[in-house]
């Protein structure tokens, strides 16, 4: 039997062996001494930074990397001071040619055989390709500031440029917190009026007695407190877009005054005898089904047809759950920039909880949940204990009977809407698809307030 003799590496060969190993690694690696001066710099580090090892040795690491965390949140300094390693922490460095390179870094303390501190080591990985892929996915599923991969909103994205350029009045319907104002701003930003004002009027917050003066403005002496002329929202929006939020809340008298603006494109400020042109594009929004309010004589039908030349519907978040991961990533990027943090994401447990939550407050509620997590989270991932108490409570224990009943109704309504959408609003085919009679389908649609016309192709 032959014995294989394993030779010892000579001391003068160890450094060469370590150098060979480090240069074979795809990740950048460098080490520093106790004065933060670079003592080694491998080939991958040269490639990622664009700087040669010879020019970095002996230099302070902050002078070489110019990373966004060098000044106040140096990962290597935190590791050496605390003894705690950091793994895959996101950061950005500056390449020799001035480009910003996204990286993830990991750190460790260097000690000799006796445990004496020598310095620290850091590995870093170039995430440029991954970041580029992330941006491509983000562009694919975002439009202006609206994020969605749902089929319904992707269809809206496709036709929105044509709608924006048409200058036709637009009605946006959707529940509170679903992003109606974002969609209205997208219509404005894509139109030829993009460089002119976007003026918001919250119809639900204006008393009837103030609506006329707020919308049309007034001239000096029009009433006791009118000490000087004041332009109305129509004048402020001239050339641009007037966004009428919660338009369904307008009282009848105000509806008549708004109708004239839409029909004749003219108005008179209070107390004035001069007629002015209303050069605005009107976009309205409501969290109610306006056609239902028309049928109940709560909203004028002639005004409805004037503001609903084009109708856009925003589904609740519970009907577009596939958007939740994209929205979470979107909000995390926003809050990282706003708060100067480096939170990478949420844990699997949080994502599972969010995917099961009903979100009665829709996207606004999701945004608030993530912001709450940002306030409490000092790690890299938002976990369950960082979430609001009411959200955490939905992660365990049986739901109360009332909640289960509400959830069941929502599931039933969602199933009917999905079937109607697939059958383009055809009641007979929809009933057959659901395995129920046409009479039962009609009764359940009435219970859930579902209009089949909304699913029929124009």
Do 65 and 211 share a domain, yes or no?
no
In whole angstroms, how large is the CA radius of gyration of the chain? 31
Q: For residue range 41-88, what is the model confidence (pLDDT) as tens digits?
A: 999 999 999 999 999 999 999 888 888 788 778 888 888 888 888 888
CA 75/CA 336 separation, integer angstroms:
17
Do 281 and 419 share a domain, yes or no?
no
- Determine the structural domain holding residue 25 and report its residue range: 19-127
The share of the chain scoring above pLDDT 70, in percent, equals: 89
Do 235 and 205 share a domain, yes or no?
yes
Q: For residue range 342-386, what is the model confidence (pLDDT) as tens digits?
A: 788 899 899 989 998 989 999 999 999 999 999 999 888 999 999
Tell me phi and psi for residue 245, to 5 degrees.
Answer: -80, 145
Instruction: Centre a 10 Å sphere on the Cβ of residue 72 and count the other Cβ atoms it contains.
Output: 8
Average pLDDT over residues 9-37: 77
Do 198 and 252 share a domain, yes or no?
yes
Q: At what angle do helices 180-189 and 151-166 cross, to 10 degrees?
A: 40
Do 60 and 171 share a domain, yes or no?
no
Q: Could you tell me which of 354, 364, 346 has the C-alpha nearest to residue 392?
A: 354
What are the angstrom distances between the C-alpha of 71 and each of 65, 147, 344? 11, 34, 20
CATH of the domain at 432: 1.10.10
CA angle 227, 231, 234 (to 5 degrees): 155
CATH of the domain at 332: 1.10.8.60
For the ranges 160-164, 350-354, 367-371, 397-401, which has the lowest average pLDDT? Answer: 397-401
CATH of the domain at 236: 3.40.50.300
Average pLDDT over residues 323-339: 88
DSSP 252-288: HHHHHHHHHHHHHSEE--BT----EE---EEEEEESS
pLDDT beyond 50 at 434:
yes
pLDDT score of 7: 40
Q: For residue range 96-147, what is the model confidence (pLDDT) as tens digits?
A: 888 888 888 899 999 888 888 999 999 999 888 777 766 665 556 667 778 8
Confidence of residue 237 (pLDDT cuts 50, 70, 90): very high
CA 189/CA 180 separation, integer angstroms:
14
CA 16/CA 253 separation, integer angstroms:
88
The share of the chain scoring above pLDDT 90, in percent, equals: 38
Do 415 and 369 share a domain, yes or no?
no
CA 388/CA 380 separation, integer angstroms:
18
Q: Calculate the average pLDDT of the chain.
A: 84
Average pLDDT over residues 267-284: 88
Q: Could you tell me which of 116, 107, 95, 127 has the C-alpha nearest to residue 32?
A: 107
pLDDT beyond 90 at 5:
no
Do 74 and 122 share a domain, yes or no?
yes
Do 361 and 419 share a domain, yes or no?
no
Tell me phi and psi for residue 178, to 5 degrees.
Answer: -90, -5
| Spatial contact of 104 and 93, defined as CB atoms under 8 Å apart | no
């Amino acid at each position: 039997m032959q014995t294989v003799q394993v030779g010892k590496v000579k001391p003068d060969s160890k450094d060469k062996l370590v150098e060979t190993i480090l240069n074979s690694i795809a990740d950048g690696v460098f080490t520093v001494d106790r004065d933060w001066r670079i003592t080694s710099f491998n080939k991958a580090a040269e490639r990622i930074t664009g700087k040669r090892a010879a020019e970095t040795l002996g230099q302070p690491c902050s002078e070489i990397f110019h990373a966004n965390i060098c000044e106040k949140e140096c990962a290597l300094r935190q590791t050496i001071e605390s003894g705690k390693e950091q793994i895959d922490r996101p950061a950005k460095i500056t390449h020799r040619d001035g480009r910003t390179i996204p990286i993830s870094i990991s750190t460790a303390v260097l000690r000799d055989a006796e445990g004496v501190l020598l310095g620290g080591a850091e590995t870093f990985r170039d995430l440029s390709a991954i970041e580029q892929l992330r941006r491509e996915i983000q562009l694919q599923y975002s439009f202006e500031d609206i994020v969605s991969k749902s089929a319904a909103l992707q269809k809206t994205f496709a036709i929105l440029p044509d709608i924006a350029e048409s200058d036709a009045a637009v009605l946006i319907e959707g529940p509170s917190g679903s992003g109606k104002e974002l969609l209205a701003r997208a219509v404005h930003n894509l139109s030829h009026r993009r460089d002119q004002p976007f003026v918001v009027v919250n119809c639900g917050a204006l008393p009837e007695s103030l609506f006329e003066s707020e919308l049309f403005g007034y001239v000096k002496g029009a009433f006791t407190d009118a000490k000087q002329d004041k332009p109305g929202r129509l004048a402020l929006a001239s050339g641009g877009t007037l966004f009428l939020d919660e338009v369904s809340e307008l009282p009848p008298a105000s509806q008549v005054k708004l109708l004239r603006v839409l029909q004749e494109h003219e108005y008179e400020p209070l107390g004035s005898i001069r007629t002015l042109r209303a050069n605005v594009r009107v976009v309205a929004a409501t969290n109610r089904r306006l056609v239902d309010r028309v049928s109940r004589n709560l909203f004028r039908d002639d005004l409805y047809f004037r503001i609903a030349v084009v109708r856009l519907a925003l589904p609740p978040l519970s009907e577009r759950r596939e958007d939740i991961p994209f929205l979470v990533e979107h909000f995390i990027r926003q809050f990282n920039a706003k708060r100067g943090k480096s939170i990478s994401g949420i844990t699997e447990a949080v994502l599972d909880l969010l995917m099961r939550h009903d979100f009665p407050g829709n996207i606004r509620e999701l945004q608030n949940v993530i912001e709450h997590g940002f306030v409490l989270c000092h790690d890299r991932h938002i976990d369950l204990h960082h979430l609001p108490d009411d959200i955490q409570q939905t992660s365990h224990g049986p739901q109360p009977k009332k909640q289960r009943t509400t959830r069941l109704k929502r599931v039933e309504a969602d199933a009917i809407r999905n079937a109607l959408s697939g059958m383009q609003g055809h009641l007979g085919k929809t009933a057959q698809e659901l395995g129920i009679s046409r009479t039962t389908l009609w009764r359940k649609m009435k219970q859930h307030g579902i209009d089949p016309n909304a699913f029929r192709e124009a």
